[in-house]
Amino acid sequence: MAIRTGSGRGSLRPNPQDPFTDLLFNTLIGFILLFFLAIIFLNPEKEEASVDLDAQYVITVTWADNSPDDIDTWVEDPRGSVAWFRNPNAGLVHLDRDDRGMLNDTLTVGNETVANPLNQEIVAIRGVVAGEYTVNVHYYETETNTPVNVSVRVARINPVYKIVFYKSIELARKGVERTAVRFTLASDGTVIDTNTLEKKLVSF
């Protein structure tokens, strides 16, 4: 007897795929995708350290912690406007922090009052006006009647943080005014010149 081979109704062949199986498979893929998205958003990659301040340049003046002596910062812009404690906003130059030694340097933590030992004045330049800026420090008031060493730092904030000037100055006694730096900005905000020629700004 001859055995017939072929693809008739009696032959074996795979059944069509079940639609319910497709639905389960697609749902599984969706859950896996959502799982990976959750991991990405819950564990973002660490970004490089950056400084986001509303300033182009920041001038920082510091002296010894816990010192009761009062040092003032004076900054003149290219147009001749001067920022100081009685005129904290001069054009684009702003005295953001006026430090009076240990006077009023206290913080309340819970029910406890603690002293803030840091002596620091901060001046922000919130835009670029081409020309020369003059930074002076003034020994305004003293309780110690001793010389004070003052550190002056000028840093560019945007587009990246960069220190463009740093210097320590000794103020020998009350009433002494010293020019820390005179720096010139180009129209693009870059420093094109610095010098320490003395220039008087204190007007009283």
pLDDT tens-digit map of 8-25: 444 444 555 566 677 777
CA angle 39-44-49, nearest 5°? 170
Report the CATH number that the domain containing residue 135 is assigned in CATH.
2.60.60.30
> Do the domain assignments include residue 50?
no
> Is-above-0.75 flag for pTM?
no
Residue 89 identity: N
Tell me if residue 29 falls in helix, strand or coil. helix
> Do the domain assignments include residue 162?
yes
Question: Domain count of the chain?
Answer: 1
Report the distance separating Cα 4 and Cα 12, nearest Å.
Answer: 14
> Do the domain assignments include residue 12?
no
Q: Which domain does 190 fall in, by range? A: 57-195
Q: Are 88 and 81 in contact (CB under 8 A)?
A: no
> Do the domain assignments include residue 169?
yes
Element at 136 (helix H, strand E): strand 131-141
> Do the domain assignments include residue 3?
no
Residue ranges in the chain whose pLDDT is less than 70: 1-20, 36-37, 39-53, 101-110, 112-117
> Do the domain assignments include residue 145?
yes
Total count of residues recorded for the chain: 204
pLDDT tens-digit map of 34-54: 776 676 666 544 444 444 457
Q: What are phi and psi of 12, to 5 degrees?
A: -90, 140
> Do the domain assignments include residue 62?
yes
